[in-house]
């Protein structure tokens, strides 16, 4: 089962669902998890230098036996060691991954760049990396509107992607980023999408999501989970979802989301309305001053 794709502003196609090697796999050997994900049909793999497991991500890719052109691989730069450039860090990542290029290269966080006044210089380096073909597409992560505005002042290339924490409990503050990115043709990628379910048990979103899961289960004749409802909400908003699971059954659930019956516009609003009753962020509190 292959994943539908969204078109990035540079014409590249990004699979809407990505398998993340952060969070649960942070600093851990991800070989088996990556191999299982690829063999189950998750061809979009999301890594980062900060996760400290690029070697095992590369090993999982190699052991999967899937052709490189069938995969969409992301990594991210967090900081540059003394005397090293952004390109140097990517060259090191490519060695670890065993790849000649990544499909997407992201700046992991804006904080240090803003503090050190390096935002525009780093983005110029990113543009050079894209021109050289070491990364097919370039983008950012955890950028708020003001960070994007600063970057765009002198940018020759508009970021293809902004990867942010996105779920109903941050929608009230993330909606401005979502709308700004949409206006610039920047695709939003979500991480932490299912946090509402397991980090806030019995939160305000639970009842509406359970009700919608029941409706879609009846309509489709198959059991739909609450997690699938949240992913369907994001899918219908044109958001790429990056998530992790060690279970093949969960991976298959994720891949099935696009083929589920659509949520109505009213149901999408209901999820966002219930989400706005509780503001809860789980990652990057320092970025958002929360």
Binding-site annotation: residue ranges: 108
Closest alpha carbon to 191 in 37, 17, 4:
17
Radius of gyration from C-alpha coordinates of the chain: 18
Return binding residues for substrate. Answer: 108
What are 284's two structure tokens? 């990057």
Q: From the candidates 26, 51, 101, 178, which is the catalytic residue?
A: 51
Closest alpha carbon to 278 in 186, 189, 202:
202
Cβ–Cβ under 8 Å, residues 254 and 242? no
Q: Is 220 strand, coil or helix?
A: helix
CA distance 123 to 106: 10
Could you give phi then psi for residue 161, rounded to 5 degrees? -145, 150
Closest alpha carbon to 96 in 135, 62, 133:
62
Q: Is 191 a catalytic residue?
A: no
Could you give phi then psi for residue 166, rounded to 5 degrees? -145, 115
Cβ–Cβ under 8 Å, residues 242 and 46? yes
Which residues, including other chains, have CB under 8 Å from residue 68's CB and lie 6 or more apart? 61, 99
Q: Which residues are catalytic?
A: 51
């Amino acid at each position: 089962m292959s994943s539908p794709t969204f078109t990035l502003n540079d014409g590249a196609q990004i699979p809407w669902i990505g398998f993340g090697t952060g969070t649960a796999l942070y600093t851990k050997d991800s070989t088996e998890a990556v191999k299982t994900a690829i063999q189950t049909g998750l061809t979009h793999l999301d890594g980062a230098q900060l996760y400290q497991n690029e070697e095992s991500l590369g090993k999982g890719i190699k052991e999967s036996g899937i052709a490189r052109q069938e995969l969409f691989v992301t990594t991210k730069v967090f900081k540059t060691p003394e005397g090293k450039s952004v390109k140097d860090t990517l060259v090191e990542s490519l060695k670890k991954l065993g790849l000649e290029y990544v499909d997407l290269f992201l700046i992991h966080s804006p904080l240090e760049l803003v503090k050190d006044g390096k935002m525009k210089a780093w983005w110029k380096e990113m543009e050079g990396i894209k021109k050289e073909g070491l990364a097919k597409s370039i983008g950012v992560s955890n950028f708020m509107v003001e960070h994007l505005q600063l970057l765009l002042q002198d940018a020759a290339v508009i970021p293809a992607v902004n990867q942010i924490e996105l779920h109903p409990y941050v929608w009230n503050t993330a909606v401005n980023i979502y709308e700004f990115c949409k206006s610039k043709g920047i695709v939003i990628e979500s991480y932490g999408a299912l946090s509402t379910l397991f980090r806030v048990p019995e939160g305000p979103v639970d009842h509406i999501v359970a009700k919608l899961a029941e409706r879609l289960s009846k309509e489709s004749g198959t059991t739909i989970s609450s997690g699938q409802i949240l992913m369907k909400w994001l899918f219908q908003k044109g958001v790429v979802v990056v998530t992790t699971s060690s279970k093949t059954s969960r991976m298959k659930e994720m891949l099935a989301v696009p083929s589920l019956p659509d949520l109505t516009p009213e149901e999408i609003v209901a999820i966002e309305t219930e989400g706005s009753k509780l503001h809860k962020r789980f990652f990057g509190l320092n970025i958002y001053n929360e």
